Amino acid sequence: MTAPLLTPTGQSCTATAPGVPEHPASTGRAHGGGTRVLVVFASRHGATREIAAALARQLPMTDAAGQCALSVHLAPVQQHPDPAAFDAVVLGSPVYGRRWLTPAVRYAEATAGALGRRPTWLFSSGVADQAVDTSIDGDDGRRVGASIGSRDHRFFPGRLEGRLLSAVERRLLTGRPAPAGDHRDWAAVSAWAEEIASGLAAARTRTTRHEVA
Ligand SMILES: Cc1cc2nc3c(=O)[nH]c(=O)nc-3n(C[C@H](O)[C@H](O)[C@H](O)COP(=O)(O)O)c2cc1C
């Protein structure tokens, strides 16, 4: 079963690789068989939510997904999904003032033990020009990554649209070279989903061989 993953309000939902029956574990019930991935995100204006939703939608459709019966659960950090109910986690936050959003930092800190015991991939989204300022990709992302030993920390270009911003945010950006527009790179997001799924399938193959030997 493949469920739609992008709900307008960012509510959690689940998807499974085509041809793979949805496993109860992917909806938080008992475990068996497949690789369950939690994609969990923070977002203020929806850009990062849509990146997380794209990852969650792509992961079960990747070439490697069928090899590890991959299923995905998408949820905002505010729902506090328990990483211990999953085999792997992808956690993302936008960068504001060079920091991750506080709910994402708090979630990472509260679940650090569980994140550190399973493969975890992190991503930040923002509009900074990394070529100009390499410190821009979110100190929190780097710090969280180091503390839990994450597999990767990616920076994805985000979206900055004046009509979505509060008056305070617009004031904060006054006089700063902030490139307005939607800079999200969906091809890069898809490619990362392929990388993550390949890593999970390879790990599963190694585990299966180990169990057989
Ligand atoms: C007040 C403000 C501060 C921002 N600070 C940064 C920053 O330090 N680094 C960065 O890369 N992007 C920064 N951004 C851009 C956001 O990270 C970007 O718009 C992101 O895609 C928003 O994601 P969201 O819609 O999920 O909240 C800032 C945007 C605003 C409005």
Q: What angle do CA 166, 144, 152 make, to 5 degrees?
A: 100
Looking at residue 206, its pLDDT comes to 75
Range of weakest confidence among 38-52, 83-97, 130-144, 199-213: 130-144
**Which residue has a Cα nearest atom 21 of ligand 1?**
158
CA dist 182 → 1, 38, 81, 200 (Å)? 31, 26, 29, 30
Looking at residue 128, its pLDDT comes to 77
**Which residue has a Cα nearest atom 29 of ligand 1?**
96
Best residue for ligand 1 mutational test, from 39, 95, 101, 139 (most atoms within 8 Å of Cβ): 95
Q: How far is the CA of 162 from the centre of ligand 1 (A)?
A: 11
What confidence tens digit (pLDDT) does each residue in 176-203 have? 777 889 999 999 999 999 999 999 999 8
User: Could you tell me the pLDDT band of residue 97, with boundaries at 50, 70 and 90?
Assistant: confident
- Is the pLDDT at 17 greater than 80? The verdict is no
Give the ligand 1 atom nearest the CA of 138.
9
Average pLDDT rounded to a whole number, residues 158-186: 88
Best residue for ligand 1 mutational test, from 91, 96, 123, 125 (most atoms within 8 Å of Cβ): 96
- Is the pLDDT at 89 greater than 90? The verdict is yes
Asked whether 127 and 160 are in contact (CB, 8 A), the reply is yes
Which of these, 98, 107, 90, 76, lies nearest to 35 by C-alpha position?
90
Q: How far is the CA of 19 from the centre of ligand 1 (A)?
A: 38
- Domains, the chain: 13-166+180-212 (3.40.50.360)
Does 116 or 130 have the greater pLDDT score?
116
Looking at residue 203, its pLDDT comes to 84
Does 203 or 79 have the greater pLDDT score?
79
Q: How far is the CA of 173 from the centre of ligand 1 (A)?
A: 10
Distance CA 119, CA 190 (A): 19
Best residue for ligand 1 mutational test, from 127, 133, 169 (most atoms within 8 Å of Cβ): 127
Q: Which residues line ligand 1 (CB under 6 A)?
A: 43-49, 94-98, 125-128, 136, 158-160, 165, 169, 172-173
- Is the pLDDT at 27 greater than 60? The verdict is no
Q: Which two tokens stand for residue 103?
A: 């709910």
Distance CA 37, CA 179 (A): 33
Does 31 or 13 have the greater pLDDT score?
13
Looking at residue 182, its pLDDT comes to 95
- Is the pLDDT at 4 greater than 50? The verdict is no
Range of weakest confidence among 18-32, 85-99, 144-158, 176-190: 18-32
Cβ-Cβ contacts under 8 Å for 66 (sequence gap 6 or more): 17, 18, 19, 20
Which of these, 49, 55, 38, lies nearest to 108 by C-alpha position?
38
